Structure 1
Amino acid sequence: MAEDLTIAKTGTKEEQYLSLIPQIEALLYGETDLIANLANVCAALKEQFNWFWVGFYLVKSDELVLGPFQGPVACTRIKKGKGVCGASWAQGETIIVQDVDAFPGHIACASASKSEIVLPLFQAGTIIGVLDVDSEYLAHFDEIDSVYLNKIISLLNA
């Protein structure tokens, strides 16, 4: 298991993801505990990109419950279909929000958050949670983030 990350602070966003993915694979290698793996993915993403908030919400009955994260304190429970996280869960797809204030029903866990990307986390074809990433900058996330974050969370199913 890798114990340290080599953070690539130069290069394009895509190059930074390409540098990070093999390191995340090494972090996950041989570890079967989901919570441990989610925690390390959060830490690796926060270290690499210094986003405002990175975390997972896990499906528990009829709501998402806060899981491992990096950043300020967060909302602990989100109903299906509510906010960006609940919408991603309900729709089963990645949602990129360029301006959270323009998203109908946005749940403001932190007023500093300005843009967001949320990706469903699947296990055996069922959504078991979502990866939520917030930025303090407007329009911070794009298709490159969607592609590579989906690749990273797919490693959690391996």
Structure 2
Amino acid sequence: MFNVENYQGNKEENYQLVIKQLAALLEGEKNTIANLSNASALLNQFLDRTNWVGFYLMEDGELVLGPFQGLPACVRIPVGRGVCGTAASRQETQRIADVHAFPGHIACDAASQSEIVIPIVKDGTLLGVLDIDSPEKDRFDEIDEKMLEAFVKELVKFL
């Protein structure tokens, strides 16, 4: 069911399929860590040209590393610092074409060149962020942004 060869449509259609797969994968499961783990694994398998896919969760006023796929990462990120902290403080998606040009960028992996971070908000409360890094500059476009926001909107139903 979750085979890359299943993604034969255009980019938006492929994202719609992965969002349906997410719902099927998480249906009936209440454990947040299990759901975030499967969500990060699913996205990591789906997305190409990425080197880190995962979550940071709000805990005691800061972002703390959650389930992810990729190299070991920064454990704690203050709200307002770096791309993740900025997405959290503004509760707005941050799509950064060149992370080295972003003021206050936190380099957890020197190979990362671009990044997209989507806040996870449920009932007005910030739960955390979805963070995706790429070793390519300008990897993420408007379609990625729109569809990853839709992915997070679906994910929130299971958190």
Same fold (TM over 0.5): yes
Q: Percent identity?
A: 50
Tell me the equivalent position of 2:143.
144
Task: Write the deviation string for residues 30-78 of structure 1: whole angstroms up to 9, x where unpaired.
Answer: 1111111111110000001142100000001121000000001100000
Measure, in 2, the Cα distance between the counterparts of 1:56 and 1:93.
15
Q: Is the 8 A contact 2:23 2:155 kept in 1?
A: no
Measure, in 1, the Cα distance between the counterparts of 2:61 and 2:155.
23
Tell me the equivalent position of 1:20.
18
When structure 1 is superposed on structure 2, of 90-99 and 27-36 the one drifting more is 27-36
The one of 33, 36, 51 aligned to 1:38: 36
Runs of 4+ in 1 over 6 A off after TM superposition: none
The answer to whether structure 1 residue 82 and structure 2 residue 74 are counterparts is no
Tell me the equivalent position of 1:54.
53
Tell me the equivalent position of 1:157.
156
Q: How does 1:70-149 map to 2 (within 5 A)?
A: 70-149=69-148
When structure 1 is superposed on structure 2, of 31-40 and 111-120 the one drifting more is 31-40
* TM superposition shift of 1:15: 2.5
Measure, in 1, the Cα distance between the counterparts of 2:146 and 2:81.
24
Measure, in 2, the Cα distance between the counterparts of 1:97 and 1:34.
28
Task: Write the deviation string for residues 64-116 of structure 1: whole angstroms up to 9, x where unpaired.
Answer: 00000000110000001000000000001000000000000000000000000
**RMSD of the TM alignment (CA)?**
1.2
Tell me the equivalent position of 1:63.
62
Task: Give 1:65's aligned amino acid.
Answer: V
Structure 2 counterpart SS, 1:35: helix
Structure 1 residue runs without a partner (length 5+): none
Q: Which structure's relative contact order is higher, taking Cα pairs within 8 Å and 6+ residues apart?
A: 2
